[in-house]
Chain A
Amino acid sequence: AQSVTQLGSHVSVSEGALVLLRCNYSSSVPPYLFWYVQYPNQGLQLLLKYTTGATLVKGINGFEAEFKKSETSFHLTKPSAHMSDAAEYFCAVSEGYSTLTFGKGTMLLVSP
């Protein structure tokens, strides 16, 4: 069965600092991997996804993630945090069907 582990329920950074949100997955087949973001009082929206091909995936708002099969990881990064990045971030995995398994989420806090 597929599963997702997000390390750290809360991550705090200063504005302008590097953002690194960690995601490790377990899957019995080559996975499809997703990062979603949830701003306060809103639903989730897709940041980026890895399907096949290039392992470095670029998303919206300057975020990117790299699929590393050997490490079963799909960490999310952004070179310079902005106050507007404060939100909850969810990593998710699909094994080829239409359903997703989500991690428990990481709340990103950005201080001035």
Chain B
Amino acid sequence: DVKVTQSSRYLVKRTGEKVFLECVQDMDHENMFWYRQDPGLGLRLIYFSYDVKMKEKGDIPEGYSVSREKKERFSLILESASTNQTSMYLCASSPGTGGTDTQYFGPGTRLTVL
């Protein structure tokens, strides 16, 4: 079974703090993704990575950055957290064979910024 784990299920931070969300997958997948999920808006892609040290902006990259130093690990960084970044963050991975790939999701991190 593919397993995608996220470092925290719940996180509370203060405005202006630097926040790190970590994601690890154990299936040697090439692709990894960070989404933001908000009620009524569905999932929106923040960033994705198709290889180590490679990254591509998604639909809503503003205010976020990412790091992929190892194949199995993909980090989402909020340089200076703001209240409008309060959300559920979902990490996913996929094999990297193309558009028919299944994406495998972690359980999510619910981030609250006060």
Could you tell me which residues of chain B, from 32 to 63, have a CB within 8 Å of some CB in chain A? 33, 40-45, 48, 50, 58
Q: Which of B70-114 contact A (CB under 8 A)?
A: 90, 92, 94, 96, 98-103, 105-108
Number of chain B residues close to chain A: CB under 8 A = 26
Which residues of A approach B to under 8 Å, CB–CB?
9, 32, 34, 36, 41-46, 49, 51, 90, 94-100, 102-105
Q: Are A98 and B43 in contact (CB under 8 A)?
A: no
Taking a contact as CB atoms under 8 Å apart, the answer to whether B90 and A43 are in contact is yes
With A44-B105, A45-B105, A99-B58 as given contacts, are A94 and B99 in contact (CB-CB < 8 Å)? Answer: yes
- Given the known interface contacts A32-B100, A98-B48, A98-B50, the answer about A43 and B42 at a Cβ–Cβ threshold of 8 Å is no
Is A43 a contact partner of B99 (Cβ separation < 8 A)? no
Inter-chain CA distance A45–B44, complex, in Å, is: 16
Binding site for A on B (CB under 8 A): 4, 31, 33, 40-45, 48, 50, 58, 90, 92, 94, 96, 98-103, 105-108
> Contact: A98 with B40, CB < 8 Å?
no
Q: Are A49 and B102 CB-contacts (below 8 A) given A42-B107, A99-B48, A104-B40?
A: yes
